[in-house]
Amino acid sequence: MSDIVFILGAGASKQCGAPLMGDFLDVAHRLTRAGEISDINDHFGRVFRAIGALQAVHSKAQLDLTNIESIFTALEISNVLKRLPGFEADEIPGVIASLKEVIVKTLESTIDFPTSRSHIGVPKPYEQFAELVRHLRSEAHPNQSVSVITFNYDIAVDMALYQHGMGPDYGIPPTSRSHNPVSLFKLHGSLNWAQRKDSGGVYPLQLDQYFDKYRIQSWEERGSCKIPIGSQLREYYSKHTDIDVELEPVIVPPTWNKSDYHHALSTIWGKAAHNLSEAHTIFICGYSLPETDAFFKLLYALGTVGTSPLEKIIVYNPDETGLTNDRFKNMLGPGAIARYEYRAKTFGEAIHDIKQLFPAKK
């Protein structure tokens, strides 16, 4: 049970370098042309060939072919229907695998983690977020239990909790060795989650296990590094365990047909819904509630049915047009709308704002 639930969208990780879904392919293309991602040219070419093929569909139906979520969804549907112009049916899974590889490499290349000699730190604003979570749990009066739900694939929030001794606890084994972990429910998968070949189960690589085998060697007092955990996932399991895993990390299509991943992720979704049902306060940061995300709307609707009264739900998003605010108001029921507030602030600004709501005991 959690008193407070944070829900983090792509906007939360934007401040530490990760692209938004609508910018993802442009960023990946720029990195490839600049030679900063040299080993995904074939994958990138395959993805853009598929996008070109989808142009034929776009001429007869509305598809946003600049948004990686829309492309991911379109490819998943193509795989179910066994139809994608210009591709044989048995080639479509390879296109989806290439898209996942582009996602992995782009996220690994865009997020810099600060370093001090051999110590790897946490990028802003997640360092401040971890301090906020620690404040809520141990200094706020009264203390608040906290859990985090995120739609993001990157490991920035994972690193924040890990480096502050708070897990994370992903809700599935293997569990964190931290004494007092924070629950982190990653609804769309994660760069550090593998899928077992034998059972199809999701198997997170805990960060302490990863850093036991992969370290940086640096004498610089201040620097930065990348963490290619998704690219090294299969290597880790093949070298250091007897577990055989799939090539790509567990990355779930954001908007459609999550039932395909039901068996692997249903435990996580169930725990996320349970925590929502028990929370008295929900903070939603950097998530714009796309019209197509029926999954979140259902998760919220079913998850917030519980015995604990909802005292506050605050959405933090820098959008000042009113569109994001309207989407949330249209989703909320009459009981929640009375507790709802929209604040046009970034994730970093939200952290300071939230801390003021929970002062420490004097």
| Residue 162 and residue 168 in contact, taking contact as beta carbons nearer than 8 Å | yes
Note the pLDDT of residue 55.
Answer: 80
Tens-digit pLDDT profile for the chain (362 aa)? 799 999 999 999 999 999 998 899 899 889 888 888 777 788 988 998 999 888 876 555 567 788 888 888 889 889 889 999 889 999 999 999 999 999 999 999 999 999 998 899 999 999 999 999 999 999 999 999 999 999 999 999 999 999 999 999 999 998 888 889 999 999 999 999 999 999 888 999 999 999 999 988 777 889 999 999 999 999 999 999 999 999 999 998 765 555 556 677 889 999 999 999 999 999 999 999 987 677 888 888 888 877 778 999 999 999 999 999 999 999 998 888 999 999 999 999 999 999 999 999 87
Token couple for 252? 């779930």
What residue type is 164 in one-letter code? H
Distance CA(76)–CA(137), nearest Å, equals: 40
What residue type is 109 in one-letter code? S
Token couple for 5? 């639930």
Report domain extents, the chain.
4-18+114-357, 24-110
β-pair partners for 342: 315
Q: In sequence order, what are the residues at sequence separation of 6 or more whose Cβ sits closer than 8 angstroms to the Cβ of residue 306?
A: 276, 277, 278
Q: Is 160 exposed, middle or buried (0-12, 13-18, 19+ CB in 10 A)?
A: buried
Note the pLDDT of residue 69.
Answer: 83
| Residue 297 and residue 328 in contact, taking contact as beta carbons nearer than 8 Å | no
* pTM greater than the 0.85 cutoff: yes
Note the pLDDT of residue 61.
Answer: 58
Token couple for 148? 């985090």
CATH architecture of structural domain 4-18+114-357: 3-Layer(aba) Sandwich (3.40)
Per DSSP (E only), the strands in 73-204 are 113-116, 119-120, 146-150, 183-186, 193-195, 202-204
Residue matched to tokens 């695998």: 97
- CA neighbours within 13 Å on the CB side: how many for 190? 26
What residue type is 105 in one-letter code? K
Note the pLDDT of residue 8.
Answer: 98
DSSP labels for 183-197?
A: EEEETTB-TTEEEBT
Note the pLDDT of residue 53.
Answer: 85
Q: Which of 40, 194, 45 is nearest to 106 (CA)?
A: 40
